[in-house]
Amino acid sequence: MGNSSKSAQFLMDSRMTRATGGSAEACFDLGVAYSCGTGGMPIDLIEAHKWFNLAAWRGSEEGQSMRAEIAEEMTAREIVEAQRQARAWIAATQVRAA
């Protein structure tokens, strides 16, 4: 692994930690990373939609608009899968927080 992919992984890990802690901004950043392939991340619209959805759920208007934007490039099945993953993530993090 090159240095840039290590630092990209570190950025993703720290955002993931902050997202788990309830940061809408971190969720939004993860959505951007997956939708643009930031820092050598693979582009994954299902993951991106999931994170934008979580950002929106936490009150991010940017998350709402980005979610709508990438939804136009996704199939209905992909959107359903992204929504399922978002719900599962919310359930898992709420259990952990309880």
In this predicted model, what pLDDT tens digit does every residue of 51-65 receive, in sequence order? Answer: 999 999 999 999 999
Residue 79 has pLDDT above 60, yes or no: yes
The span from the CA of 27 to the CA of 46, in Å, is 14
Helices 3-20 and 24-36, packing angle to 10 deg: 140
Containing domain of residue 68, as a range? Answer: 3-97
Q: What is the pLDDT of residue 3?
A: 56
Residue 80 has pLDDT above 70, yes or no: yes
The count of domains in the chain is 1
Q: What is the pLDDT of residue 87?
A: 96
Q: What is the pLDDT of residue 2?
A: 47
Query: Dihedral of the CA atoms 18, 86, 45, 55 (nearest 10)?
Result: -50
Residue 97 has pLDDT above 70, yes or no: no
CA triplet 60, 74, 45: central angle to 5 degrees? 60
Residue 21 has pLDDT above 90, yes or no: no
For CA atoms 43, 49, 51, 55, the dihedral sign is: positive
Residue 40 has pLDDT above 60, yes or no: yes
